[in-house]
Structure 1
Amino acid sequence: MVAETKAEGAQSLQTEKPLLDALNVRLLTELTADPRLRTTELARRLGVSAPTVRERVTRLEESGVIRGYRLEVDPAALGLPVAAWVRLRPGPGQIPRVIELAARTPEVVECHRISGEDCFLMRVQVAAIASLEDVLDKFLVHGQTTSSFVVSTPVPPRSVPLE
């Protein structure tokens, strides 16, 4: 009975459509360009039915390929024109505290664990350089920081290549 179940499972895996077939790549390309597209418009652009689009979007969401739909805002328009990348080398035993502090510090808009001499890379968005100093002071009790200010962004954040 176990062998039958495994064989049936293997057969169902073989008959499933690949998650990123040509149609799904086109669908993701359209949604990446405009996440607000309606199902009917997506269907029209892709040359398929609206139920097909809904089913494929649902599968992509459930499988984790589509993780969410985000609103992009201009930090400068919100009074937060200063962006900096902050590298942090925590002291012994400080990693959990750094993670907790980064999570509850609203100015930290990204935080990554990285390899190399430093353990964390954070993007901080603040109103002024003095405000960055306040953020850095919170982290200095947990380790050593190094900061680089963003002067311009010639390549803004974008989606990963789909093909």
Structure 2
Amino acid sequence: MTIDEIDAKILKILQADGRTALSEIARRLDMGSATIHERVNTLEEEGYIQDYRAVLDSELLGLDNVAFIRVQTDAGRFSEVAERLAEESAIQEIHELTGETDLLLKVRVGSREDLTDFLSSIGKYEGVVSTKTDVALRSVKEENRLNVPE
């Protein structure tokens, strides 16, 4: 399925606020609520919309220490290690890379001590050769929104 201009507008509205009522989307786009409901259902079924969730404030929750960890694995084991790491709740992102590093992790923890404990833990994973960590001093921009083409 390819999306048209109306679908793109619906995606942009829902991405900005997933709680926007379908009737409000219909009003903004000057369309019927039933048509919008049908389009949203199709977008969900086709996988364009994967989830609706709240964006939480990491600082208020005490999870404002961000680190980027480069993980080197034994040859041919990066996918296996990545799947195991995916179970760790402190990890927000895991990317398999080309180049010298096999995996890049974005981790969010409550303290530097938590980060130290986390690094110690993953350093013991079977298949992990080494890790290198960069701690973020501050986050200038963090964005999960996609630039939906029209």
After TM superposition, the runs of 4+ consecutive aligned structure 1 residues lying more than 4 A away are none
Is residue 98–residue 139 contact of structure 1 (8 Å, CA) maintained in 2? no
Secondary structure of the corresponding residue to residue 106 of structure 2: strand
Does 1:105 find its partner at 2:91?
Answer: no
Secondary structure of the corresponding residue to residue 48 of structure 1: coil
Q: Percent identity?
A: 29
Unpaired segments of 5 or more residues in structure 2? none
Mapping of residues 1-163 of structure 1, within 5 Å? 19-92=2-75, 94-95=77-78, 97-141=80-124, 142-163=128-149
Secondary structure of the corresponding residue to residue 32 of structure 1: helix
Deviation for aligned residue 1:96 = 5.1
What amino acid is the match of 2:5? Answer: A
The alignment's TM-score, normalised by the length of structure 1, stands at 0.81
Which stretch has the larger CA shift, 108-117 or 39-48? 108-117
The alignment's TM-score, normalised by the length of structure 2, stands at 0.87
Is residue 84–residue 124 contact of structure 1 (8 Å, CA) maintained in 2? yes
Unpaired segments of 5 or more residues in structure 1? 1-17
Secondary structure of the corresponding residue to residue 113 of structure 2: helix
What CA RMSD, in Å, does the superposition of the two structures yield over aligned residues?
1.7
Is residue 107–residue 124 contact of structure 1 (8 Å, CA) maintained in 2? yes
Deviation for aligned residue 1:152 = 2.2
Is residue 78–residue 103 contact of structure 2 (8 Å, CA) maintained in 1? no
Secondary structure of the corresponding residue to residue 44 of structure 1: helix
Secondary structure of the corresponding residue to residue 104 of structure 1: coil
Which structure has the larger Rg?
Answer: 1
Q: CA separation in 2, counterparts of 1:57 and 1:126?
A: 35
| Higher helix content, 1 or 2 | 1
Which stretch has the larger CA shift, 138-147 or 88-97? 88-97
Deviation for aligned residue 1:95 = 3.0
Higher RCO (CA 8 Å, separation ≥ 6 residues)? 2
What amino acid is the match of 1:85? Answer: F
Deviation for aligned residue 1:37 = 0.3
